[in-house]
Structure 1
Amino acid sequence: MALTVLTVDDSRTMRDMLKHSLVAAGFRVLQAEDGLDGLEVLKTEKPDVVVTDINMPRLDGFGFIEAVRSDAERRTMPVLVLTTEADPDKKSRAKAAGATGWIVKPFDPVKLVDAIRRVAA
């Protein structure tokens, strides 16, 4: 059965690039436009892995990760951060919030797919 990945990013272009790369790798892809939208998707879906941006309107990636981790059912769900940010403080903050890993944009589709498969195992 195909792994399901939820992508959370406010950029339509980035969501399209992620969907193209992940569908080509055989994943089922769910999409959300920001953290609040991502939490709505999680009410009805149980993805194997979440890939989220940090800088988004309404609810940023930090708040989204914290909300996911506060839900007992989703506490162990892998959450990868995919962002243009390279700031060590933000990386530490994401890890403290519960992020499983950190990938800097622009992403290499092969490395992203490998990372998703690793954390989903």
Structure 2
Amino acid sequence: MASHKILVIDDSNVIRNMVRDMLPKGNFDVLEAKDGVQGLDLIRQERPNLIMLDFLLPRLSGWEVFQQIQANHELQAIPLVLMSGRKEEVTEKLQEPFEYFEFVQKPFDQKELIDAIKSAMAKSKRRPAPVATMATAATGTAPAGDIQALNEKIAKMQTEIDSLKKQMGQILAFIKQKLK
């Protein structure tokens, strides 16, 4: 029986098979998903030991899958390798250096794949445990002070958003006036 579950989320059957073929035989159970929705379902059902995620996917993009993984403290702990044929697509949304996940550019060879997996596993161990989760585990609920502080931040951000919307409206009105 395989000791590690690796989930490969990629719309390309060629990439999914290539990853399967490049991994050492017998050590890995490779799960496959051809789009982001199927990938998220498998992440939640199977709790893989590693996720290999293509950045451009149908139905739910790799970026959206990444965001959902980051929003869940349990899923954040799973080592992650992002894959893309164009690194600039990834760096548009995520700043380098990639602190808690690894990136591998397609096409990659076996050494690059293995190095990316090792690096992703090391990086995931460096991720600090979320403080709110530890407090929640100890008490069974989130501390009221934390919730109140978050609600205050939300209210402040909403005020800023409303102000920016007003400014944008003023700018648009000014531009329309100048174009007449």
Aligning the two structures, in what range does the TM-score lie when normalised by the shorter sequence?
Answer: 0.7 to 0.9
C-alpha distance in 2 between matches for 1:16 and 1:86: 22
- The one-character-per-residue Cα deviations of 1:54-97 (angstroms, maximum 9, x if unpaired) are 1111111100011111122112222111110121x63251458x
- The CA deviation at 1:115 is 2.1
Aligned residue for 1:29, secondary structure, equals strand
> What is the 5 A alignment of 1:16-31?
16-24=17-25, 26-31=27-32
Structure 2 counterpart of 1:66: 67
Structure 1 counterpart of 2:33: 32
Q: TM-score, normalised by structure 1?
A: 0.84
Structure 2 counterpart of 1:83: 84
Indicate the structure with greater helix content.
Answer: 2
Identity %: 28
RMSD across aligned positions (CA) = 2.3
C-alpha distance in 2 between matches for 1:13 and 1:48: 22
Pick the structure with greater CA Rg: 2
Q: Is the 8 A contact 2:104 2:112 kept in 1?
A: no
Aligned residue for 1:24, secondary structure, equals coil
C-alpha distance in 1 between matches for 2:50 and 2:56: 19
Structure 2 counterpart of 1:57: 58
Q: TM-score, normalised by structure 2?
A: 0.59
Indicate the structure with greater strand content.
Answer: 1
Q: Is the 8 A contact 1:5 1:29 kept in 2?
A: yes
Q: Is the 8 A contact 1:22 1:29 kept in 2?
A: no
Q: 5+ residue gaps in structure 1?
A: none
C-alpha distance in 2 between matches for 1:71 and 1:81: 17
- The CA deviation at 1:11 is 0.7
Aligned residues, how many?
119
Aligned residue for 2:23, secondary structure, equals helix
Q: Which amino acid aligns with 2:10?
A: D
C-alpha distance in 2 between matches for 1:38 and 1:55: 13
Q: Is the 8 A contact 1:65 1:79 kept in 2?
A: no
C-alpha distance in 1 between matches for 2:114 and 2:52: 11
Structure 2 counterpart of 1:93: 93
